C-alpha cells in the first residue's frame, strides 16, 4: 500500500539506506592527512548529505497534512509492525524485559525519558514499545533515532486526534459534562441517558486514557507478532517518566527474589506515587522494597499470567464507572476475584515523574529540565549505592490498609459507547 506522504520505492529506499551508512565511513576518510584526498572526500560527504536529506523528506519521513493521511499511516504502521535495530541487537528472547511507553505529545518529557533509557544498564537486551495516541512526525523522528535497543511503535487508532468531532472524540451533539439529566433528554443529545455516578457526562480527554491503556494491553499481550507469545516481564511507563540507570538491574533482582520475599505478589513496581516536593530528590534506602496493595505506582511490571487474570474479566473492567484503569483493575480484583493485588515495590524510586504539570496536576515547578537536572545530581551523588546485590524488606502494608474499605469510584465512564469500544478491543483477539 502506497500512502500519500509516505511513498516507498524499494530500490530508492535501498539506495537511501546505503547513502546513510556511507556518511559515517566517508567522515572517517575525510580525516585523512592528505589534503588533496581530504578535499575530495569532503565534497563527496556534502553530496551524500544532500541526497540523504532528500531521502529523509521523501522516503523516510511522513508528514501527513490531513486526518485521512494520518489514519492511513497509522493503519500502515500497525499492520507492518517494523522493529527498529533488530538487525543489531537480535530477536527478543522470552526472558528479556519488554518496556511499554504510553505517549501523548509531550516531546520534551519524552526526550528526557529516552535519554535516561539510553544510560540504563542492560537496556540493549530489551524491546521498547512506544504506544502513541497522537501522531506527530517530530515525535516519530525522535523515536526512530534510538540506537541503543530494539524499538517498535504502535499507534492507538481511535484517538481524539483522528476522531476530533465524532466518538470516541467529542461529537458536537454529545451532552455537555455538567448538564442535568432532564435537560439532556430534552436536548436529545447523544448520550443523554448515560450520565455517570455523579450525574456528569463523558469527556473524551479523560476516557481516552482508559481506552488507550486497555487497547495497548490487548495489543502487546495478544496481537503483536513479537510479543503475543512472550512470557517474560512487561514494564509499563509513560512519556513523562525518568528512569535511574539501575532500574532494569533492580527489576530483574525483584523478579528473582519474588518467590522468597513475596510469593503472592504478581506485580512489581519501581516507584510509589508521591506528591512532588524537595524530598523527591532525597535518595535513601536504595536496596529496600516493601509489600503493598495495588495502588498508584510508577513503573509497574507483570507477566502474561497476570494479564490473563485481568483480561477474562474484561466486561467488568470495561463497564465499571471509572475512567482510571488502576481503580478499575482493583475493583475487578476485590469484587470478582475476592482478593487483593499484592505488589512488591521499591522503597526508593527507580522511575521518577517529571510531568508534574499534566492533565490532573498543576505545580509551580513545571520545567522538566529543572527536575531532570536535580534528579541527575541526586542519582550521581548516590551512584555508589545503585545496583544493590540483595533486597531488604522494609515495610509491609498489609496491616496498614483496610481491605474492606469501599473503593472510591471516580466516574467519567458511564457512556455505553465507551463500554462497547473497550470490549471491542478484546474481540479483536479472537
| Predicted confidence (pLDDT) per residue in 354-368, tens digit | 887 654 444 455 688
- The domain segmentation of the chain, as residue ranges, is 10-61, 83-160+203-427
Alpha helix ranges (H) inside 120-164: 137-144
CATH number at 83-160+203-427: 3.90.550.10
Rounded to an integer, the average pLDDT of 125-140 is 98
Residue 428 pLDDT > 90: no
Share of the chain above pLDDT 70, in %: 77
Q: Tens digits of per-residue pLDDT, 374-389? A: 999 999 998 999 999 9
**What pairs with residue 150 in β-bridges?**
127
Distance CA 43, CA 252 (A): 50
Alpha helix ranges (H) inside 134-236: 137-144, 181-187, 204-218
Residue 103 pLDDT > 80: yes
Cα separations in angstroms, 45 against 50, 189, 219, 428: 9, 62, 42, 49
What integer pLDDT is reported at residue 2 of this predicted model? 29
CB atoms < 10 A from the CB of 21, how many? 11
Query: 163 phi and psi, to 5 degrees?
Result: -135, 50
pLDDT, the chain, mean: 85
Take residue 312 and report the three cell numbers written for it.
477474562
Q: Tens digits of per-residue pLDDT, 160-182? A: 999 999 999 999 999 999 999 99
Amino acid at each position: 500500500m502506497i500512502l500519500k506522504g509516505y511513498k516507498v520505492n524499494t530500490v530508492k529506499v535501498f539506495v537511501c539506506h546505503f547513502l546513510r551508512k556511507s556518511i559515517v565511513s566517508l567522515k572517517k576518510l575525510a580525516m585523512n592527512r592528505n589534503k588533496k584526498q581530504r578535499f575530495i572526500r569532503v565534497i563527496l560527504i556534502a553530496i551524500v548529505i544532500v541526497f540523504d536529506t532528500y531521502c529523509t523528506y521523501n522516503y523516510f519521513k511522513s508528514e501527513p497534512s490531513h486526518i485521512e493521511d494520518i489514519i492511513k499511516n497509522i493503519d500502515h504502521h500497525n499492520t507492518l509492525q517494523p522493529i527498529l535495530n533488530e538487525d543489531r541487537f537480535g530477536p527478543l528472547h522470552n526472558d528479556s524485559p519488554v518496556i511499554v511507553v504510553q505517549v501523548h505529545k509531550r516531546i520534551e518529557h519524552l526526550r528526557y525519558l529516552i535519554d535516561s533509557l539510553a544510560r540504563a544498564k542492560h537496556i540493549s537486551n530489551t524491546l521498547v514499545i512506544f504506544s502513541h495516541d497522537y501522531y506527530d512526525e517530530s515525535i516519530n523522528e525522535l523515536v526512530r533515532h534510538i540506537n541503543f535497543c530494539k524499538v517498535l511503535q504502535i499507534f492507538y487508532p481511535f484517538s481524539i486526534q483522528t476522531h476530533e468531532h465524532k466518538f470516541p472524540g467529542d461529537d458536537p451533539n454529545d451532552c455537555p459534562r455538567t448538564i442535568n439529566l432532564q435537560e439532556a433528554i430534552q436536548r436529545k443529545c447523544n448520550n443523554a441517558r448515560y450520565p455517570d455516578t455523579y450525574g456528569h457526562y463523558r469527556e473524551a480527554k479523560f476516557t481516552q486514557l482508559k481506552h488507550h491503556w486497555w487497547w495497548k494491553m490487548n495489543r502487546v499481550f495478544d496481537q503483536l507478532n513479537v510479543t503475543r507469545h512472550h512470557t517474560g516481564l512487561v514494564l509499563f511507563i509513560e512519556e513523562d517518566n525518568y528512569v535511574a540507570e539501575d532500574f532494569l538491574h533492580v527489576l530483574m533482582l525483584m523478579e528473582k527474589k519474588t518467590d522468597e520475599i513475596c510469593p503472592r505478589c504478581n506485580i512489581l513496581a519501581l516507584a510509589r506515587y508521591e506528591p512532588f516536593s524537595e524530598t523527591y530528590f532525597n535518595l535513601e534506602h536504595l536496596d529496600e522494597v516493601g509489600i503493598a496493595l495495588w495502588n498508584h505506582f510508577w513503573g509497574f511490571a507483570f507477566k502474561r499470567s497476570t494479564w490473563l487474570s485481568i483480561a477474562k474479566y474484561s466486561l467488568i473492567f470495561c463497564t465499571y464507572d471509572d475512567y482510571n484503569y488502576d481503580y478499575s483493575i482493583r475493583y475487578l480484583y476485590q469484587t470478582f476475584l475476592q482478593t487483593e493485588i499484592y505488589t512488591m515495590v521499591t522503597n526508593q524510586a527507580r522511575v521518577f515523574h517529571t510531568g508534574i504539570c499534566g492533565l490532573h496536576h498543576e505545580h509551580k515547578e513545571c520545567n522538566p529540565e529543572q527536575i531532570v537536572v536535580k534528579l541527575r545530581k541526586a542519582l550521581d551523588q548516590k551512584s555508589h549505592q545503585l545496583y544493590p546485590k540483595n533486597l531488604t524488606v522494609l515495610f509491609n502494608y498489609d496491616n496498614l490498609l483496610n481491605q474492606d474499605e469501599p473503593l472510591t469510584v471516580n466516574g467519567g465512564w458511564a457512556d455505553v459507547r465507551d463500554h462497547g469500544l473497550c470490549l471491542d478491543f478484546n474481540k479483536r483477539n479472537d
